[in-house]
Chains A and B, each alone.
Chain A
Amino acid sequence: MNIIIQLTYLIATIMFIVGIKKLNKTQEARQGNILSAVAMLLAVLATLVDSGLLTPIETFSCMLVGGAIGLVWARRVEMTQMPEMVAIFNGFGGAASLFVAFSDYWTRAVEQPDLSTDLITIISILLSVLIGGITFTGSLTAYGKLSGKVSGNAIVFQGQHLVNLILLLVAVACGVLVAINTSSVTAMLVMGAVALVLGILVVIPIGGADMPVVISLLNSYSGMAACTTGFVLNNSVLIVTGALVGASGIILTQIMCKAMNRSLISVLLGGFGATSGGAAAGGDGTEMVVKEVGVEEAAMIFDSASSVIVVPGYGMAVAQAQHVVREMMDLLEKKGINVRFAIHPVAGRMPGHMNVLLAESNVPYDKLIEMEEINDDFGNTDVVLVVGANDVVNPAARTNPASPIYGMPILNADKARTVIVSKRSMGVGYAGIENELFGYPNCLMLFGDAKSTLTKMVGELKEM
């Protein structure tokens, strides 16, 4: 029997790997996801058999409750809420690792103290509790920030890093105590509590546009937590799949950091907007003169263009303007105008955020062009429409070495013949700096809520 279970685990592992491989291609991605779900089902069935199912009622009722909650949640969530959804699911994954490790620990320390516990196992338990705990509260904090339940800005206070360091040292000290004497339950509880507090403290100083990095990193942590749980239970499926997730999270983190020209360390230390905003606002002191444009005039400009590039940003998600943007695209295409979308890697609040929103509103994915591919085309484009994006089109990143975002790769929207910026007000972006682009002679500001102004524009375009 045992050999059959082990073989099932092996098959599940292969299916997980092939499933992730298929996520590389848009056409096969859905199939890959289903394959990996089937692998999960196999692993669960094998484990149910393996466990001997001593407590069937408890086991199945827990799975039913969890499954129902997960399914309802997944069905109901709006695509604009995707970042916080991923964050909270991630948190549950971390919490599960935390509780599994704690449960295993409790059996060893309290319920069956005669069970021999070696050093490797106890260290794995400690790591699971630590990483799982940080992932849990870290993800919940990220969820709070993304859903607007707590301030999305960076929250910094004096001596923040020192507090974190001390807490980490306390956690390590408690860990050593538990490693020396397995039955020191108090030390274990303290370590768990410290991990939970650390998770909050690590995420609160990180705000707004840095969120994609944090989500990727927390994603990676949840994989690592699963991995350490694998060491606790001596189970290789957990180790393999945990490692796959850990690796994917790290790669995404790297991509996000590179796209912002920031090191991971500087993101984690946090407070980007808070520290650099004041200095930049003092800037050169010259008042920027911007040109405003009305809906009707803007519609006329689009009507006479032959190529249009749309640059979406987080503001589009906030205004829920993705559907009207697609409607506009359809109208313009009917007039024979070439419309494409330029997607900056960190546009939005999570990796690929804009792609999901536009896919939801039925924009074909081959219309969404990556930054490197489209950047040279801005020069011979008639009109660029910037919807709710700011820092990712700020030419200061190219030209002004004093700017906090200098060196960040940006979309060269300013090179187009005309740039129309749909924006609520002249407010600054996440980096807290003025956008030079708005003062450029080829730039026109279309003030107002993106959804309502673009809806009006669609109306104008229909009449033309």
Chain B
Amino acid sequence: MSLENFIFLLYILVLASYCGFELIAKVPPTLHTPLMSGSNAISGITIVGAILCVREGDISKYLGMVALVMATINVVGGYAVTDRMLQMFKKKK
């Protein structure tokens, strides 16, 4: 990776972190658990990296496959359980 490319990615990191702080700072306490399990599912974005690792190769492919299974559990399970929770939050009719 070239230094320029790295600096560019750092810019993205800084801006995204700032964006994250602004977006989440005002989440009401009622939603803290869904926020957590939802953001947890989002962190399963590593699935993208795992897919790229499952390619021709020997040990590297198997490592990628383990990563892919785990990331998929994280993503699918995380979103499903968050949805289940959010479904329950109802206002008084």
A239 touches B63 (CB 8 A): no
Partner pick for A36 among B27, B29, B38, CB 8 A cutoff: B38
Q: Which of B1-60 contact A (CB under 8 A)?
A: 1, 3, 5-6, 9, 12-13, 16-17, 19-21, 23-60
* Stretch from A83-91, A143-151, A417-425 contacting the other chain: A83-91
Q: Which B residues lie within 8 Å of A34 (CB)?
A: 83
In this complex, what residue of B is CB-closest to A218?
A: B40
* Chain B, interface residues (CB within 8 Å), range: 35 or more
In this complex, what residue of A is CB-closest to B62?
A: A103
Q: Which B residues lie within 8 Å of A240 (CB)?
A: 12, 16
CB proximity of B50 to chain A, nearest CB, Å: 5
Q: Which A residues lie within 8 Å of B50 (CB)?
A: 62, 96, 99-100
A103 touches B64 (CB 8 A): yes
User: Is there a chain B Cβ closer than 8 Å to A213's Cβ?
Assistant: no
Q: A238-B49, A366-B91 are in contact. Are A93 and B40 (CB under 8 A)?
A: yes
Complex Cα gap A58–B55 (Å): 9
Complex Cα gap A49–B78 (Å): 24
In this complex, what residue of A is CB-closest to B20?
A: A247
Q: A43-B48, A246-B20 are in contact. Are A69 and B73 (CB under 8 A)?
A: yes
Q: Which A residues lie within 8 Å of B30 (CB)?
A: 26, 343, 352, 355, 365, 368
Q: Which A residues lie within 8 Å of B46 (CB)?
A: 93, 96-97, 100, 225-226, 229, 238
Q: Which B residues lie within 8 Å of A459 (CB)?
A: none
B24 touches A103 (CB 8 A): no
A62 touches B72 (CB 8 A): yes
B76 touches A66 (CB 8 A): yes
Complex Cα gap A94–B59 (Å): 20
A-B contact pairs, 13 of them (CB 8 A): A26-B89, A32-B38, A36-B41, A37-B41, A37-B79, A89-B73, A100-B50, A219-B43, A240-B12, A243-B20, A244-B39, A245-B39, A365-B90
Interface residues of A (CB under 8 A from B): 16-17, 19-21, 23-24, 26-27, 29-30, 32-34, 36-37, 40, 43-44, 47-48, 50-51, 54-55, 58-59, 62-63, 65-67, 69-71, 73-75, 77, 79, 82, 85-86, 89-90, 92-93, 95-100, 102-104, 106-107, 110-111, 118, 120-121, 215-216, 219, 222-223, 225-227, 229-252, 255, 343, 345, 350-353, 355-356, 359-360, 362, 364-368, 370
Interface residues of B (CB under 8 A from A): 1, 3, 5-6, 9, 12-13, 16-17, 19-21, 23-61, 63-92
